[in-house]
C-alpha cells in the first residue's frame, strides 16, 4: 500500500508508547530507525499488512495513555507501523471521546452530569470546578475537567473518571472536589471505587436465592481457585460432556432471551452461527455498557470476572469458535483490570488456550477496550471498532451470524446473557425455564438508581413488579412520593407512579408499551426536574449519534433545539406547532434511521410528553 505519511515525526515518548504495545518495528518500512539492505529487497504488503489494522484502536489507546494526546507525529508513527493511511487513522482517533488530537494537559477528569448524577451532586461539582479551578476543558494547572455522559456508576452518583497520562486511570463514585484533587495530584496511589455494586449480596437473608450474583462479594475475584471452589468451571465441564449441539439445545430449551436490549433468543443465534460452513467463527461478549443508567455488567465483571470468561468459553465451544473478544467500555478501569487478570490466570491454568481443560478444544479470549462511544455497543459498530475502523453501524442484513466481525459468522452476547448460560447448565434447561414467566425465563439483573434508599444491582425473577423491585432497593429515599421512573435508560422511556404495578417481563413490557432495555430503573421523587432530564437525554443523543445517516444526525439536533425553544419560550409558531414538530422528527428517526440509536433517540422524550405531560404544562 502506498502510504502518504505526514512530515511530523514521533517523539521518543510517543515511539516508546506505541512500541510498548506493538513491539519494536522489524523493518524500516514499519518505522524502524533505518532502512536496511534487506528492507530494500523484501517488503510485506497485501493481506499480511492489512490484517494488522485491528490493532489500531489499542495502539491509539497506548499513545493516548502514554503521552496524554495523539499528535500528528504519534499518529504518523502508528499509521506507519500498521500500514493504515494517516487520514483513516485520524478518522478513527477523532471518533472516540477518550482520544484527543489536540494537545491537552496529561490528566483529564470526566465529571458525570448525566441523569442519576446531575441531581446527586454532579452538577454542583461541575459548578464548583468552574468557579474554583477552571472553565470546562481549560487548563487548571496540569489537568482539565470535562462534563461526561453516564460513567456506568450511577449507584454511586456522582461519579468521575480520570485519564492520567503515564499513570493508571481511575473511576471514583460519591465524588467531591477533594476526590478530584486526589486524582489530579501526583500521588500514584488513588484506588478505584470498589463499588456499592450489589446490595443484595451484602445481606444474609435471601442470599441463597441469588443465581447470577451468588458469587459476588463472596468469591475472591482475583482467584481462580476460589472461583472453582464456588462452582466455577462446572459449566464448561457440563458443556463438554453433552457436546456443542446439546449445549445449544439446552440454551434454546431454557428460552433464554438476550439481556442487551433486543431480547433475541440466544439459542437461535448460537445455532445459526454453529451451522455456518464459513470459518472461522467468532464469539463476542458485549461489555460496552454505555446506556445511561446501566451498570449491571460492570458489577458482574468486577465481582465475578471468571464467570464472564467461563461463559464466553462455553459460547465459543458451542458455536465452534476458537477465538472470542471481550469488548469492554473504556471507562471501566477496575473491571478491565480484573478481567485482564482473570484471562491471564485462566490461560495460565489451562482454562483457555490450545487444549481447554484437557478437553481437546482450543479457545482464547482477547480483551478489547472501547474509547468512549455509546454507539460501539451496537453490535455491528462494535465489529467495526474491533476491526480498527470508525465505530459506525453497518446496514443489516447481512446479520452478524453470517457476516460479523472480520466478515465471519459471529455470536455476540451481552455479559448478563452469557452468565445466564452458566445457570442454564447448572440447573438444567427445564429448571431454568421454570424460573420467571412463560415468555421471560430465568433471573434478571436490574440497575436501580436515583432516589431510592439503596441504589445498586438487584437480581429478581422475571415477573416481579416495579413496585416490588423499588421496595427491594429500600423504597423511595426518605419515604417521598415518586414522580417518575425511567425504565430502560435514555433509549427507554419514563413511566408515572400509576405504572408501579407493571410487571418486569418482556411480554408485559411489550403489551404495556414500556421497555426493560438494559435493565435500567431510575427512580425520581418530587424534587426531580423532568424538563431538565429530557434536555440532558436530548443532548446525549445529539452527542452520541455517529452522524452516518441523516434522520438521526439531523433529527437528534432538531429534537434538542425544539425542546430548548419550548423551555425558553422562543417557539417557532405555537407550543402545539413545536410539539407537532418534535413528534414528526421522532417518527422520522424511528422509521428511517439505520440503527437502534436513531430509532430510540426520541423514545424517552416522547414518553415524558405523552405519559407525564412534560413540556405541555403538566408535570415538570
Ligand atoms: C445504540 C446501541 C447501543 C447498544 N449498546 C449495547 C451494550 O452496551 N451492551 C449490549 O450488550 N448490547 C448493546 N446493544 C445491543 C447490541 O446491538 C446487541 O443486540 C446485543 O449485544 C446482543 O446481545 P444479547 O442477544 O445477549 O442481548 C446496543 C444497541 C444499540 C442500538
Ligand atoms: S441511527 Fe444514528 S447512530 Fe445509528 S447509524 Fe444512523 S447516525 Fe449513526
Ligand atoms: S454514572 Fe452518572 S448517571 Fe450513570
Q: Which residue out of 212, 370, 379, 541 has the highest number of ligand 1 atoms within 8 Å of its CB and is therefore the one to mutate? A: 379
Q: What's the pLDDT tens digit per position in 367-385? A: 999 999 999 999 999 999 9
Contacts for 258 with CB less than 8 Å, ≥ 6 apart: 264, 265, 266, 269, 413, 414, 417
In the reported structure, the alpha carbon of residue 505 is separated from the centroid of ligand 3 by a whole-number distance in angstroms of: 25
Exposure string for 241-256, b = 16+ CB within 10 A, e = fewer? eeebeebbbbbbbbbb
Element at 328 (helix H, strand E): strand 321-328
Element at 326 (helix H, strand E): strand 321-328
Query: Rounded to whole angstroms, how far apart are CA atoms 475 and 451?
Result: 9
Which residue, among 70, 110, 109, has the nearest Cα to 91 in the 3D structure? Answer: 70
Which residue, among 583, 575, 576, 533, has the nearest Cα to 558 in the 3D structure? Answer: 583
Q: What is the DSSP letter of 353?
A: B
Angle at the Cα of 506 from the Cα atoms of 585 and 419, rounded to 5 degrees: 110
Whether residues 472 and 549 share a domain: the answer is no
Binned at pLDDT 50, 70 and 90, residue 413 comes out as very high
Let me know if 500 is exposed, middle or buried by CB neighbors in 10 A (0-12, 13-18, 19+). Answer: middle
Ligand 1 binding site (Cβ under 6 Å of any ligand atom): 258-262, 264, 286, 288-291, 375, 377-379, 412-414, 417, 595-597
In the reported structure, the alpha carbon of residue 378 is separated from the centroid of ligand 1 by a whole-number distance in angstroms of: 5
Q: Is residue 305 included in any domain, yes or no?
A: yes
Q: What is the DSSP letter of 265?
A: B
CA distances from 280 to 192, 246, 275, 319, 353 (A): 38, 21, 12, 10, 16
Q: What is the largest CA-CA distance in the chain?
A: 79
Which residue, among 92, 80, 91, has the nearest Cα to 39 in the 3D structure? Answer: 80
Q: What CATH number is associated with residue 477? A: 3.10.20.600
Q: What's the pLDDT tens digit per position in 453-478? A: 999 999 999 999 999 999 999 999 99
CA distances from 124 to 16, 107, 130, 147, 177 (A): 40, 21, 10, 12, 10
Q: 12-22 and 72-82 are packed helices; what angle lies between their axes, rounded to 10 degrees?
A: 30
Q: What's the pLDDT tens digit per position in 192-202? A: 766 678 999 88
Ligand 3 binding site (Cβ under 6 Å of any ligand atom): 112, 114-117, 150-154, 157, 159, 292
266 pLDDT higher than 80: yes
Q: Is residue 255 included in any domain, yes or no?
A: yes
Q: What is the pLDDT of residue 578?
A: 96
Cell 461519579: give the residue.
159
Query: Rounded to whole angstroms, how far apart are CA atoms 141 and 74?
Result: 24
Whether residues 129 and 229 share a domain: the answer is no
Let me know if 85 is exposed, middle or buried by CB neighbors in 10 A (0-12, 13-18, 19+). Answer: middle
Ligand 3 atom nearest to 158, measured from its CA: 2
Q: What is the pLDDT of residue 202?
A: 84
**Helical H segments across 320-462, by residue range:** 333-348, 379-386, 415-427, 429-433
Task: Work out whether strand 482-487 and strand 493-495 pair parallel, antiparallel, or are unpaired.
Answer: antiparallel
Q: What CATH number is associated with residue 539? A: 1.20.1440.230
Q: Is residue 169 included in any domain, yes or no?
A: yes
Whether residues 283 and 392 share a domain: the answer is yes
Number of domains within the chain: 5
Question: Which ligand lies nearest to the CA atom of residue 121 in the structure?
Answer: 3
Q: What's the pLDDT tens digit per position in 78-104? A: 999 999 999 999 999 999 999 999 999
In the reported structure, the alpha carbon of residue 577 is separated from the centroid of ligand 3 by a whole-number distance in angstroms of: 33
Q: Is residue 206 included in any domain, yes or no?
A: no
Q: What is the pLDDT of residue 32?
A: 72
Ligand 2 atom nearest to 552, measured from its CA: 2
Whether residues 134 and 277 share a domain: the answer is no
Query: Rounded to whole angstroms, how far apart are CA atoms 594 and 396?
Result: 8
Angle at the Cα of 328 from the Cα atoms of 326 and 332, rounded to 5 degrees: 145
Q: What percent of the chain stands above pLDDT 90?
A: 90
Q: What's the pLDDT tens digit per position in 152-200? A: 999 999 999 999 999 999 999 999 999 999 999 987 677 776 667 899 9
Q: What's the pLDDT tens digit per position in 552-561? A: 999 999 999 9
Whether residues 175 and 294 share a domain: the answer is no
Lowest mean pLDDT among 34-43, 176-185, 230-239, 319-328: 34-43
Whether residues 388 and 509 share a domain: the answer is no
Whether residues 317 and 424 share a domain: the answer is yes
389 pLDDT higher than 50: yes
Ligand 2 atom nearest to 599, measured from its CA: 1
Which residue, among 286, 362, 359, has the nearest Cα to 323 in the 3D structure? Answer: 362
Query: Rounded to whole angstroms, how far apart are CA atoms 114 and 93?
Result: 24
Query: Rounded to whole angstroms, how far apart are CA atoms 269 and 410?
Result: 9
In the reported structure, the alpha carbon of residue 256 is separated from the centroid of ligand 2 by a whole-number distance in angstroms of: 28
Q: What is the pLDDT of residue 5?
A: 67
Mean pLDDT score of the chain = 94
Q: Is residue 207 included in any domain, yes or no?
A: no
Q: What's the pLDDT tens digit per position in 497-531? A: 999 999 999 999 999 999 999 999 999 999 999 99
Whether residues 521 and 540 share a domain: the answer is no
Q: What is the pLDDT of residue 190?
A: 79
In the reported structure, the alpha carbon of residue 539 is separated from the centroid of ligand 2 by a whole-number distance in angstroms of: 15
281 pLDDT higher than 60: yes
Helix, strand, or coil (residue 414) = strand
Residue of 204 and 106 predicted with greater confidence: 106
Helix, strand, or coil (residue 457) = strand
In the reported structure, the alpha carbon of residue 173 is separated from the centroid of ligand 2 by a whole-number distance in angstroms of: 31
Domain end call among 508, 525, 542 = 525
Contact 190, 170 (CB under 8 A): yes
Helix, strand, or coil (residue 164) = strand
Residue numbers of the domain that contains 337:
224-433
In the reported structure, the alpha carbon of residue 376 is separated from the centroid of ligand 1 by a whole-number distance in angstroms of: 9
In the reported structure, the alpha carbon of residue 437 is separated from the centroid of ligand 3 by a whole-number distance in angstroms of: 31
Whether residues 272 and 176 share a domain: the answer is no
Q: Is residue 208 included in any domain, yes or no?
A: no
Q: What is the pLDDT of residue 41?
A: 64
Tell whether ligand 2 has an atom less than 6 A from the beta carbon of residue 549.
yes
Q: What's the pLDDT tens digit per position in 488-506? A: 999 999 999 999 999 999 9
Whether residues 271 and 397 share a domain: the answer is yes
Q: What CATH number is associated with residue 371? A: 3.40.50.11540
In the reported structure, the alpha carbon of residue 174 is separated from the centroid of ligand 2 by a whole-number distance in angstroms of: 33
Query: Rounded to whole angstroms, how far apart are CA atoms 534 and 514?
Result: 17
Q: Which residue out of 378, 391, 393 has the highest number of ligand 2 atoms within 8 Å of its CB and is therefore the one to mutate? A: 393
In the reported structure, the alpha carbon of residue 448 is separated from the centroid of ligand 1 by a whole-number distance in angstroms of: 19
Q: What is the pLDDT of residue 615?
A: 87
Contacts for 189 with CB less than 8 Å, ≥ 6 apart: none
Domain end call among 497, 525, 553 = 525
Q: Which residue out of 95, 288, 375, 586 has the highest number of ligand 2 atoms within 8 Å of its CB and is therefore the one to mutate? A: 375
Q: Is residue 5 included in any domain, yes or no?
A: no
Calculate the dihedral angle through the C-alpha atoms of 141, 146, 150, 151, rounding to the nearest 10 degrees: -30
Q: 296-303 and 333-348 are packed helices; what angle lies between their axes, rounded to 10 degrees?
A: 40
Whether residues 405 and 427 share a domain: the answer is yes
Compute the average pLDDT of residues 276-281. Answer: 98
Whether residues 272 and 373 share a domain: the answer is yes
Binned at pLDDT 50, 70 and 90, residue 619 comes out as very low
Q: What is the pLDDT of residue 34?
A: 65
Element at 323 (helix H, strand E): strand 321-328
Contact 353, 298 (CB under 8 A): no
Let me know if 555 is exposed, middle or buried by CB neighbors in 10 A (0-12, 13-18, 19+). Answer: buried
Nearest residue by C-alpha to atom 1 in ligand 2: 598
Which residue, among 46, 61, 275, has the nearest Cα to 163 in the 3D structure? Answer: 61
Count of alpha carbons within 13 Å of 146, Cβ hemisphere only?
Answer: 16
Q: What's the pLDDT tens digit per position in 286-345? A: 999 999 999 999 999 999 999 999 999 999 999 999 999 999 999 999 999 999 999 999
Q: Is residue 367 included in any domain, yes or no?
A: yes
Let me know if 406 is exposed, middle or buried by CB neighbors in 10 A (0-12, 13-18, 19+). Answer: middle
Contacts for 384 with CB less than 8 Å, ≥ 6 apart: 390, 391, 392, 393, 394
Task: Work out whether strand 410-414 and strand 281-287 pair parallel, antiparallel, or are unpaired.
Answer: parallel
Q: What's the pLDDT tens digit per position in 110-127? A: 999 999 999 999 999 999
Ligand 2 atom nearest to 556, measured from its CA: 2
CA distances from 37 to 33, 116, 159 (A): 13, 61, 55
Domain end call among 525, 542, 560 = 525
Helix, strand, or coil (residue 316) = helix
Amino acid at each position: 500500500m502506498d502510504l502518504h505519511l505526514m512530515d511530523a515525526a514521533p517523539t521518543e515518548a510517543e515511539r516508546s508508547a506505541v512500541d510498548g504495545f506493538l513491539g519494536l518495528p522489524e523493518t524500516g518500512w514499519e518505522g524502524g530507525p533505518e532502512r536496511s539492505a534487506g528492507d530494500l529487497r523484501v517488503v510485506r504488503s497485501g493481506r499480511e499488512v492489512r490484517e494488522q489494522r485491528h490493532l489500531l484502536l489499542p495502539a491509539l489507546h497506548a499513545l493516548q495513555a502514554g503521552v496524554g494526546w495523539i499528535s500528528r507525529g504519534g499518529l504518523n508513527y502508528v499509521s506507519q507501523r500498521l500500514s493504515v493511511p494517516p487520514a483513516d487513522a485520524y478518522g478513527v482517533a477523532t471518533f472516540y471521546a477518550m482520544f484527543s488530537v489536540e494537545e491537552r494537559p496529561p490528566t483529564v477528569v470526566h465529571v458525570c452530569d448525566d441523569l442519576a448524577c446531575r441531581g446527586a451532586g454532579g452538577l454542583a461539582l461541575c459548578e464548583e470546578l468552574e468557579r474554583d479551578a477552571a472553565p470546562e476543558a481549560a487548563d487548571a494547572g496540569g489537568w482539565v475537567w470535562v462534563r461526561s455522559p453516564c460513567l456506568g456508576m450511577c449507584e454511586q452518583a456522582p461519579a468521575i473518571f480520570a485519564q492520567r497520562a503515564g499513570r493508571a486511570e481511575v473511576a471514583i463514585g460519591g465524588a467531591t472536589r477533594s476526590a478530584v484533587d486526589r486524582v489530579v495530584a501526583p500521588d500514584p496511589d488513588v484506588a478505584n471505587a470498589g463499588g456499592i455494586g450489589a446490595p443484595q449480596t451484602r445481606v444474609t437473608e435471601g442470599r441463597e436465592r441469588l443465581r447470577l450474583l451468588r458469587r459476588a462479594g463472596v468469591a475472591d475475584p482475583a482467584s481462580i481457585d476460589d472461583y472453582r471452589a464456588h462452582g466455577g468451571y462446572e459449566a464448561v465441564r457440563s458443556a463438554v460432556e453433552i457436546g456443542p449441539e446439546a449445549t445449544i439445545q439446552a440454551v434454546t430449551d431454557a428460552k433464554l432471551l438476550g439481556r442487551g436490549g433486543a431480547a433475541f433468543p440466544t439459542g437461535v443465534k448460537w445455532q445459526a452461527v454453529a451451522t455456518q460452513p464459513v470459518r472461522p467463527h467468532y464469539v463476542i461478549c458485549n461489555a460496552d455498557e454505555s446506556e445511561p443508567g446501566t451498570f449491571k455488567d460492570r458489577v458482574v465483571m468486577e465481582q465475578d470476572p471468571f464467570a464472564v470468561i467461563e461463559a464466553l468459553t462455553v459460547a465459543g465451544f458451542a458455536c465452534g469458535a476458537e477465538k472470542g473478544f471481550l469488548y469492554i467500555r473504556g471507562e471501566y478501569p477496575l473491571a478491565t483490570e480484573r478481567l485482564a487478570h482473570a484471562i491471564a490466570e485462566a490461560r495460565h491454568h489451562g482454562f483457555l488456550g490450545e487444549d481447554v481443560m484437557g478437553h481437546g478444544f482450543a479457545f482464547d479470549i482477547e480483551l478489547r477496550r472501547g474509547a468512549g462511544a455509546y454507539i460501539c455497543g451496537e453490535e455491528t459498530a462494535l465489529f467495526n471498532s474491533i476491526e480498527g475502523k470508525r465505530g459506525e453501524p453497518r446496514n443489516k442484513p447481512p446479520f452478524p451470524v453470517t457476516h460479523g466481525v472480520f466478515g465471519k459468522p459471529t455470536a455476540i452476547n451481552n455479559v448478563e446473557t452469557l452468565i445466564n448460560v452458566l445457570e442454564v447448565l447448572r440447573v438444567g434447561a427445564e429448571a431454568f425455564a421454570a424460573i420467571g414467566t412463560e415468555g421471560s425465563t430465568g433471573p434478571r439483573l436490574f440497575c436501580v438508581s436515583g432516589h431510592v434508599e439503596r441504589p445498586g444491582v438487584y437480581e429478581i425473577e422475571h415477573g416481579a413488579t416495579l413496585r416490588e423491585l423499588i421496595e427491594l432497593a429500600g423504597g423511595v429515599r426518605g419515604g417521598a412520593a415518586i414522580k417518575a421512573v425511567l425504565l430502560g435508560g435514555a433509549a427507554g422511556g419514563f413511566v408515572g407512579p400509576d405504572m408501579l404495578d407493571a410487571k418486569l417481563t418482556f411480554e408485559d413490557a411489550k403489551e404495556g408499551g414500556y421497555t426493560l432495555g438494559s435493565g435500567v430503573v431510575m427512580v425520581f421523587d418530587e424534587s426531580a426536574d423532568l424538563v431538565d432530564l429530557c434536555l440532558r437525554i436530548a443532548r446525549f443523543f445529539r452527542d452520541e449519534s455517529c452522524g452516518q445517516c441523516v434522520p438521526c444526525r439531523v433529527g437528534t439536533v432538531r429534537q434538542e433545539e425544539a425542546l430548548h425553544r419550548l423551555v425558553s419560550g422562543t417557539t417557532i409558531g405555537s407550543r402545539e406547532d413545536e410539539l407537532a414538530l418534535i413528534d414528526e422528527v421522532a417518527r422520522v428517526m424511528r422509521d428511517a434511521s439505520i440503527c437502534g440509536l436513531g430509532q430510540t433517540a426520541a423514545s424517552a422524550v416522547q414518553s415524558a410528553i405523552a405519559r407525564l405531560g412534560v413540556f405541555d404544562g403538566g408535570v415538570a
